[in-house]
Amino acid sequence: MGIDDSGVVTAALDAGYRHVDTAQIYDNEGVVGDGLTDAGRDDVVVATKLWIDSLAADAVRAGTERSLDRLGLDALDLLYVHRPRGDYDPETTLPALERVREAGLTDHVGLSNFTLEQLTTAAEYVDIAAHQVEFHPFFRQEALLDHAQREGYPLVAYSPLAGGLVFEDPTIRAIARDHDTTPAAVAIAWVTSYENVVTIPKASSRSHLAANLAAAELELEPADIDAIEAIDRTEELFPE
């Protein structure tokens, strides 16, 4: 989200990242495609998301093909419904996405920003490959996490740093001091401490790319995790 320099994508892949996440509404699929071309596509998982104006049954394939053209790809690894709004209708949108998958334009179908009820309905039409939602120390969507763990698909956590709010929190700052690391690393380590949860932190500089990647090596103590979960604060950055 917000990346307008293909060099950032190239730098991320050079640093070791192997998952690239974008979306039609981010207006940077072309930039991502340029970065993929420069760095090479091998072993890279590429995901994008159909916006709400590409979710009518007769618009899904055309929308997918436009994204593929901008990305310079023949097929995606993962194609999401960005939000279940606008032209979204589970009875028509999801079968259309399944037809796109059967046609070889994407390997998997994912969902993003769905409620538990919407997930339950969607599961009647597609195999959910992933569910991408806001998830960080100040906004823990336990019901969605439980569903992902029960059904065996990954929960993909966006905004794990809560838009930078983790840098101000005294509990997270104290844990970071104890581990001689940063609040960002602590937040990422907390998010990924859950089974079935992966995260896609935003980064636009080489130093932040490296730091976010290194955070995957941090193991928090059970007491650290308990302390973070005890934080009495709710901050939803992207409400419906």
Distance CA 44, CA 162 (A): 26
- Three-state DSSP class for 57? coil
Distance CA 201, CA 60 (A): 28
What is the set of active-site residues? 26
Q: Which alpha helices (H) appear in the chain, and where do they start and end?
A: 6-15, 29-39, 60-71, 90-102, 116-122, 142-151, 170-178, 183-191, 206-214, 222-229
Distance CA 30, CA 9 (A): 11
